Amino acid sequence: MSVRDYEKRDEGALRECVIQLQDAEREIHPKTADGTKIAESYVEYLVDICSKNRGRILVVEQDGRVVGYTAIQIWDNSEEIHEDSYEFAYISDLVVLDVYRGRGFGRVLLEATESFAKQQGVKLLRIGVLAGNKPVRRMYENCGFDEHKIVLEKNI
Protein backbone atom coordinates (compact mmCIF):
# COMPACT_ATOMS: atom_id res chain seq x y z
CA MET A 1 0.00 0.00 0.00
CA SER A 2 1.38 3.41 -0.98
CA VAL A 3 0.07 6.98 -1.21
CA ARG A 4 1.20 9.42 -3.87
CA ASP A 5 0.08 12.55 -5.70
CA TYR A 6 -2.57 12.18 -8.39
CA GLU A 7 -1.29 12.18 -11.95
CA LYS A 8 -3.19 12.62 -15.23
CA ARG A 9 -2.73 8.90 -15.95
CA ASP A 10 -4.92 8.18 -12.87
CA GLU A 11 -7.97 9.89 -14.38
CA GLY A 12 -9.83 6.66 -15.24
CA ALA A 13 -9.22 5.19 -11.78
CA LEU A 14 -10.38 8.43 -10.16
CA ARG A 15 -13.60 8.33 -12.22
CA GLU A 16 -14.19 4.75 -11.02
CA CYS A 17 -13.78 5.90 -7.42
CA VAL A 18 -16.12 8.87 -7.94
CA ILE A 19 -18.79 6.55 -9.35
CA GLN A 20 -18.56 4.24 -6.34
CA LEU A 21 -18.60 7.16 -3.90
CA GLN A 22 -21.62 8.79 -5.53
CA ASP A 23 -23.53 5.53 -5.82
CA ALA A 24 -22.83 4.58 -2.19
CA GLU A 25 -23.91 8.02 -1.00
CA ARG A 26 -27.04 7.86 -3.19
CA GLU A 27 -28.12 4.77 -1.23
CA ILE A 28 -28.00 6.90 1.93
CA HIS A 29 -29.17 10.20 0.42
CA PRO A 30 -31.29 9.78 -2.76
CA LYS A 31 -30.63 13.36 -3.95
CA THR A 32 -26.97 12.47 -4.62
CA ALA A 33 -26.17 12.64 -8.33
CA ASP A 34 -25.60 9.47 -10.36
CA GLY A 35 -21.87 8.74 -10.34
CA THR A 36 -21.66 7.65 -13.97
CA LYS A 37 -23.27 10.88 -15.15
CA ILE A 38 -20.95 13.23 -13.27
CA ALA A 39 -17.65 11.33 -12.95
CA GLU A 40 -15.81 12.95 -15.84
CA SER A 41 -16.82 16.54 -15.03
CA TYR A 42 -16.34 15.94 -11.30
CA VAL A 43 -12.74 14.81 -11.77
CA GLU A 44 -12.09 17.97 -13.81
CA TYR A 45 -13.72 20.03 -11.05
CA LEU A 46 -11.56 18.38 -8.35
CA VAL A 47 -8.34 19.02 -10.23
CA ASP A 48 -9.36 22.65 -10.77
CA ILE A 49 -10.51 23.41 -7.22
CA CYS A 50 -7.47 21.76 -5.66
CA SER A 51 -5.13 23.81 -7.85
CA LYS A 52 -6.99 27.05 -6.99
CA ASN A 53 -7.01 26.39 -3.23
CA ARG A 54 -3.48 25.16 -2.50
CA GLY A 55 -4.88 21.66 -2.47
CA ARG A 56 -3.91 18.23 -3.54
CA ILE A 57 -5.43 14.97 -4.74
CA LEU A 58 -3.74 11.92 -3.26
CA VAL A 59 -4.25 8.36 -4.46
CA VAL A 60 -3.64 5.13 -2.61
CA GLU A 61 -2.34 2.14 -4.55
CA GLN A 62 -2.24 -1.56 -3.94
CA ASP A 63 -0.10 -3.69 -6.25
CA GLY A 64 0.10 -0.81 -8.76
CA ARG A 65 -3.68 -0.23 -8.87
CA VAL A 66 -5.31 2.98 -7.61
CA VAL A 67 -7.87 1.77 -5.05
CA GLY A 68 -8.88 5.09 -3.50
CA TYR A 69 -8.24 8.79 -3.28
CA THR A 70 -8.67 11.88 -1.18
CA ALA A 71 -8.96 15.53 -2.17
CA ILE A 72 -7.92 18.30 0.19
CA GLN A 73 -8.02 22.07 -0.16
CA ILE A 74 -6.86 24.93 2.05
CA TRP A 75 -9.65 27.39 2.83
CA ASP A 76 -9.70 30.79 4.51
CA ASN A 77 -12.87 31.66 6.36
CA SER A 78 -12.11 35.42 6.38
CA GLU A 79 -15.42 36.13 4.64
CA GLU A 80 -17.30 34.74 7.65
CA ILE A 81 -18.18 37.91 9.55
CA HIS A 82 -19.39 35.98 12.61
CA GLU A 83 -16.03 34.21 13.22
CA ASP A 84 -12.41 35.21 13.64
CA SER A 85 -10.35 34.71 10.50
CA TYR A 86 -8.42 31.43 10.17
CA GLU A 87 -7.34 28.87 7.61
CA PHE A 88 -8.43 25.25 7.61
CA ALA A 89 -7.83 22.24 5.43
CA TYR A 90 -10.99 20.68 4.05
CA ILE A 91 -11.11 17.07 2.89
CA SER A 92 -13.79 17.22 0.23
CA ASP A 93 -13.50 13.60 -0.85
CA LEU A 94 -12.25 10.35 0.59
CA VAL A 95 -13.15 7.06 -1.02
CA VAL A 96 -11.79 3.54 -1.14
CA LEU A 97 -13.13 1.05 -3.68
CA ASP A 98 -15.62 -1.43 -2.19
CA VAL A 99 -13.42 -4.51 -2.36
CA TYR A 100 -10.57 -2.74 -0.54
CA ARG A 101 -12.59 -1.29 2.35
CA GLY A 102 -11.85 -2.35 5.91
CA ARG A 103 -8.13 -2.84 5.26
CA GLY A 104 -6.80 0.50 6.50
CA PHE A 105 -6.64 2.36 3.17
CA GLY A 106 -8.96 5.10 4.47
CA ARG A 107 -6.83 5.65 7.54
CA VAL A 108 -3.69 5.86 5.42
CA LEU A 109 -5.36 8.48 3.22
CA LEU A 110 -6.44 10.46 6.30
CA GLU A 111 -2.90 10.37 7.67
CA ALA A 112 -1.53 11.60 4.32
CA THR A 113 -4.01 14.47 4.16
CA GLU A 114 -3.18 15.47 7.74
CA SER A 115 0.51 15.46 6.87
CA PHE A 116 -0.14 17.63 3.81
CA ALA A 117 -2.19 20.10 5.91
CA LYS A 118 0.61 20.37 8.46
CA GLN A 119 3.12 21.03 5.67
CA GLN A 120 0.89 23.91 4.57
CA GLY A 121 0.99 25.36 8.09
CA VAL A 122 -2.69 24.62 8.74
CA LYS A 123 -3.73 23.53 12.21
CA LEU A 124 -7.39 22.60 11.58
CA LEU A 125 -8.67 19.76 9.42
CA ARG A 126 -12.34 19.32 8.46
CA ILE A 127 -14.25 16.60 6.67
CA GLY A 128 -17.92 16.06 5.93
CA VAL A 129 -19.86 12.83 6.20
CA LEU A 130 -23.48 11.93 5.60
CA ALA A 131 -25.21 11.40 8.93
CA GLY A 132 -26.46 8.01 7.79
CA ASN A 133 -22.99 6.77 6.86
CA LYS A 134 -22.30 5.34 10.30
CA PRO A 135 -19.27 3.11 9.48
CA VAL A 136 -17.35 5.97 7.86
CA ARG A 137 -18.39 8.40 10.57
CA ARG A 138 -17.02 5.96 13.18
CA MET A 139 -13.74 5.71 11.29
CA TYR A 140 -13.40 9.51 11.21
CA GLU A 141 -14.20 9.75 14.93
CA ASN A 142 -11.68 6.98 15.68
CA CYS A 143 -9.10 9.03 13.76
CA GLY A 144 -9.66 12.01 16.06
CA PHE A 145 -12.39 14.00 14.31
CA ASP A 146 -15.10 15.58 16.47
CA GLU A 147 -18.41 17.10 15.48
CA HIS A 148 -18.12 20.73 14.37
CA LYS A 149 -21.49 21.64 12.93
CA ILE A 150 -24.58 19.56 12.36
CA VAL A 151 -26.99 20.53 9.60
CA LEU A 152 -30.51 19.18 9.90
CA GLU A 153 -32.99 18.98 7.07
CA LYS A 154 -36.70 18.43 6.71
CA ASN A 155 -38.68 17.54 3.60
CA ILE A 156 -41.69 19.80 3.28
- pLDDT band for 147, please (50, 70, 90 cuts): confident
Give the three-class secondary structure for 64.
coil
Residue range 31-88, pLDDT digits in tens:
999 999 999 999 999 999 999 999 999 999 999 999 999 999 999 876 678 878 889 9
* C-beta atoms surrounding 37 within 10 Å: 11
The domain spans of the chain are: 2-142
Residue range 6-43, pLDDT digits in tens:
999 999 999 999 999 999 999 999 999 999 999 999 99
> CA–CA separation, 19 vs 42, rounded Å?
10
Query: Domain 2-142, what architecture?
Result: 3-Layer(aba) Sandwich (3.40)
* pTM for the model: 0.89
The backbone torsions φ and ψ at residue 36, rounded to the nearest 5 degrees and listed phi first, read: -65, -35
